[in-house]
Structure 1
């Protein structure tokens, strides 16, 4: 029986992945604030350490799959929490559980990013550079500066934190592809568009972002269901996907293709 660690396992995409893997007979160890085998707050350094310690203890130091689904939407205040969970909560667990993954059978990891990561260029951005340098305090300072600027910039600070974190976490995963591949551990990223989750519903209720979310539909004309994203994640972990490594796979109903038809 394989052992899978899933962050954000209590709701949304994480819960959908959990249901699917349990149905497949896998052992699942969930990490979330509630309703999980390990309760941990990935927005804090202490919480990340607790999550890693719990995962290593409950898995016996041998992990076959790591699925990083935990994340916060742009509507969450303060926006620094969004940056902390969506980037630092992911990369800390990737690195902290890497050696346990090396002990697994055909081990792999999947990180959930977002198609929002590519809707603007982050090349040369001080915010992106701070993420990739591991400078959490620096990221917080830049996000707070946007919040304190007032006007439209302040209103969009949550989106800034969200999109930049999702871009940086995809870049961080790809940066690890060479060393992880040599160690025999596959690592891929999925980039969903809008998915019918509690997080999306909270965003729809937010006066800053609700109209933009409501009015923006992909070429396929609908939002994704969590089980559709879970199916892709499950496939990326299967033997049939054994040569997929270091990829960012979009599952967004065609949004990325429509926005960037010549960039791929």
Structure 2
């Protein structure tokens, strides 16, 4: 029996990012309810998509209008599966002393209260069937900027609401996520430039990738987060900023650029070649799922793992074009030898996924030796650095480095001191490389899994070091993740669809890092 097509609400649909969102979800054959203010051309835009779609007019600042809007959409389509809260009022760029309170409140009503009411009304219809709410936030809600008080505050509030709503509605099968764009080439940004409130040449120099984002790059992130491939992602905020927040020093992040680069103006033609993908720790668990995901898409995969027998077995099952290596990532000599062999066989590396890792011994700090700390750091951090260093030498523009982090990156807990420290260090390593390598066209990102059903986690459970029932109650979605869900995130982040994601971290944790209350996050048991 064929599943019904999703009904997707997109607000702010007549704007730059809004139109890109319409195109992205239309390609997935979703049925679209396009929403914008009266007087916009959202009706004409929607007619061009086809008669099954519909346009609606609404001022999202009005609670009464929003309530009627969602009711009308339900009457028209019978269900609501996805809401993309994209409508927003841009920054006024006024000094604090020149900002009247009415203007401040208006920004909050459009950018925060409106999305909240829309989410509330959509969630009422999603109860019992599940759904996804994607909030288009902003990097302004993460990093402070002068003269953006109301806009930034509203976007920070939207990010917080994303996390709290994710925790409240997870038990109903509703995921809530956010995208935080940096500078994007939209009519709103063009108006800031025209009015002299933004210098886009300076903006490009501040971005490691050397350009502003395109609307389709924001839409692609929203599309992924709304998809079944992101089924273990909730409460997460994905920065799509070209590496802006990864750069933290005086001066330019990118050499000056004359005019708007081609990649800022239009989506490049897709590369036809299959990629060479290196996955460390790729023989088992999450690593093996990542290997299989890339291989199933036609990429050539190099599996590097200390478990040489399992790596070889996996490669035999995948086909002769793939390769397996025995590799201890903490050994510089072995890393050099493996990448020399890759150079000789393929001449390049397109994607590196640093998955190799070891857990610590759950030893209290007073009983933990420096040698035990070193063991974890050598594999989880030094190994990631060594493999990245050698992979970079074989990468050209378009290369991608993905590092596996952890929920312990953000929320370390005792007595896993060494593991948490290593994963926090891996995340900042990702950001440093994003700032350094962006001008060369090489992107980086961190994937931070929560508890995932792997042999390693099973061993911890059998040894009594973790309580699986207690963990499920701590996860808003009420379950462990699956290796394939981490692999889906890795495949997206390494793809051209994530071409403006650089230095960002994506938590694939069922909402673990969004839950800050006392007690249980879910009623899961067993």
TM-score per shorter chain, which class? 0.7 to 0.9
- Higher Cα Rg, which structure: 2
Secondary structure, in 3 states, of the residue corresponding to 1:189?
strand
1:29-178 correspondence runs (5 A)? 29-33=33-37, 34=40, 35-36=42-43, 37-60=55-78, 62-75=79-92, 78-104=103-129, 107-120=131-144, 156=147, 159-178=148-167
- Can you give the 5+ residue segments of structure 1 that lack an aligned partner in the other structure? 122-152
Find the aligned partners of 1:59 and 1:103 in 2 and give their Cα distance: 17
Give the superposition deviation at 1:5. 0.7
1:101 & 1:6 partners in 2: Cα distance?
Answer: 16
**Structure 2 CA distance for aligned equivalents of residues 245 and 29 of structure 1:** 23
- Work out whether residues 63 and 103 of structure 1, in 8 Å CA contact, stay in contact via their aligned partners in 2: no
Structure 1 residue 6, shift from structure 2 partner: 0.7
Q: Which residue of 2 aligns with 1:15?
A: 19
Match of 1:24 in 2: 28
State the alpha-carbon separation in 2 of the partners of residues 259 and 107 from structure 1: 37
**SS of the residue 1:210 aligns to:** coil
SS in 2 for 1:196: coil
The DSSP-based 3-state class of the residue aligned with 1:75 is coil
Take 1:215 and 1:174, find their aligned partners in 2: how far apart are those partners? 33
Q: Give distance in 1, aligned partners of 2:75 and 2:93.
A: 31
Q: Give the distance between the partners of 2:214 and 2:230, measured in 1 at CA.
A: 22
8 Å CA contact retained: 2:111, 2:151: yes
Shift of 1:45: 2.9
Q: How many aligned positions are there?
A: 225
- Give the deviation of 1:46 after TM superposition: 3.2
Residues 1:193 and 2:182 are matched in the alignment: yes
- Structure 2 CA distance for aligned equivalents of residues 250 and 200 of structure 1: 18
| 1:47, distance to aligned residue in structure 2 (A) | 2.9
The Cα of 1:76 is off from its aligned counterpart by 8.3
8 A contact 1:193–1:252 mirrored in 2: yes
User: Are the equivalent residues in 1 in contact too, given 2:128–2:173 (CA < 8 A)?
Assistant: no
The equivalences for 1:179-218 within 5 A come to: 179-207=168-196, 209-211=197-199, 214-217=201-204, 218=207
How far apart, CA to CA, are the structure 2 residues paired with 1:53 and 1:181?
Answer: 23
- In structure 1, C-alpha distance between the alignment counterparts of 2:72 and 2:57, rounded to whole Å: 9
The structure richer in helix per residue is 1
CA RMSD of the aligned region, Å?
A: 2.4
Query: Larger RCO: Structure 1 or Structure 2 (Cα < 8 Å, ≥ 6 residues apart)?
Result: 1
Spell out, residue by residue over 1:63-106, the C-alpha distance to the aligned partner (whole angstroms, 9 max, x if none).
111111111111389443322111111001001111212244x5
User: Structure 1 stretches (4+) deviating beyond 6 angstroms?
Assistant: none
Note the C-alpha offset of 1:11.
Answer: 1.8
Name the structure 2 match of 1:234: 223
C-alpha change, 1:84 and 1:76, in structure 2 (3 Å) is farther
Asked if 1 retains the 8 angstrom alpha-carbon contact of 2:21 and 2:219, the reply is yes
Distance 1:187 1:116, change over 3 A: same
- Aligned counterparts of 2:81 and 2:14: Cα–Cα separation in 1: 20
Can you list the C-alpha shifts for 1:128-185, whole angstroms capped at 9, x where unaligned?
Answer: xxxxxxxxxxxxxxxxxxxxxxxxx9xx2xx111000000011011011112111111
Among candidates 239, 243, 257, match of residue 254 of structure 1: 243
Deviation track 1:109-128 (CA, whole Å, cap 9, x = no partner) reads 1100001111139xxxxxxx
